[in-house]
A = this chain, B = another copy of it.
Amino acid sequence: MRVKLTVCYDGTNYSGWQVQPQPECITVQQVLEDAIEQVIGKKVRVTGSGRTDAGVHAKGQVAHFDCDCSIPPERFYRALNIQLPPDVKVIKSEGVDQTFHACNNAKKKTYCYSCYVSDVDLPLKDRYSVNIERMPDIDKMRECASLFVGEHDFKCFNASKGGAKTTVRTIYSLDIVQDDIDIKFIVCGNGFLYNMVRIMVGTLLKVGYGKATKQDILTMLESGKRELGGKTLLAKGLCLEKVDY
């Protein structure tokens, strides 16, 4: 039986999604595999829709695994949650066809990057959002955000250690929502390169502060000149909202 899981996690204390060779690195995949082993008494490999980096959060990461077990798949999440720590929980489990593959079949992913503007790091925001200190020009950022929409070669929005075969991706939408001091960048695409959202948002903020132009972004997308872009923002502002199949 193949089981599909929808997973929420607070990534603060994790070395990302993927199991690491160093035993001191606790990962979300590892704690999920350990919890499943405790429930079914057997080691399994969990396949996620993709990795999330150290410190990145998720509201709707998707994963699958195979097992023979008498627990109905739609109730499996309850047994798992008893074993899981408070910062990783499975919100849904369902039986799926053997052809379902959490990574290969993912059609669309939505990420949200959260910032806030304050001259003080705010204790009640700072766990899931990044203090950018000054208000950027939202209209300018929106204008440039639209340049990312569509199919592009995002090679200069790819961290050097990212080992993707192709750097062409399609962005379906990139919305910027401002509510008082909070700014959210909600980006939906068919896939994302290593650090891609964090570099894109860093570049948009550079535009919002008047340090980069629309032309710079067009040049980045055409020429791949990474140095025109903004810095890679902190992981804690990023959340994988959902994966569509």
Indicate if the CB atoms of A77 and B124 lie closer than 8 Å. Answer: no
Write out the residue numbers on chain B whose beta carbons fall within 8 Å of the beta carbon of A10: 123-124, 127
Contact pick for A123, options B9, B118, B122, B126, CB 8 Å: B9
Contact pick for A120, options B91, B120, B126, CB 8 Å: B91
Query: A141 at interface (Cβ–Cβ under 8 A)?
Result: no
Of A35-43, A81-89, A142-150, the segment with at least 4 beta carbons within 8 Å of chain B is A81-89
Indicate if the CB atoms of B91 and A122 lie closer than 8 Å. Answer: yes
Query: A8 at interface (Cβ–Cβ under 8 A)?
Result: yes
Indicate if the CB atoms of A86 and B126 lie closer than 8 Å. Answer: yes
Closest to A91 in B: B120
Write out the residue numbers on chain B whose beta carbons fall within 8 Å of the beta carbon of A91: 118, 120, 122
Closest to A6 in B: B120
Complex alpha-carbon distance, A127 and B9, angstroms: 12
Complex alpha-carbon distance, A89 and B90, angstroms: 34
Query: A140 at interface (Cβ–Cβ under 8 A)?
Result: no
Q: How far is the CB of A239 from chain B (nearest CB, A)?
A: 7
List the 8 closest A-B pairs by CB distance, nearest first: A10-B123, A87-B123, A89-B120, A91-B120, A8-B123, A9-B123, A89-B123, A8-B122
Known: A8-B122, A81-B121, A88-B123. 7 other contacts (CB 8 A): A59-B124, A81-B120, A86-B121, A86-B123, A91-B118, A91-B122, A124-B128
Q: List 6 A-B contacts (CB under 8 A).
A: A9-B124, A10-B124, A87-B123, A89-B122, A89-B123, A91-B120
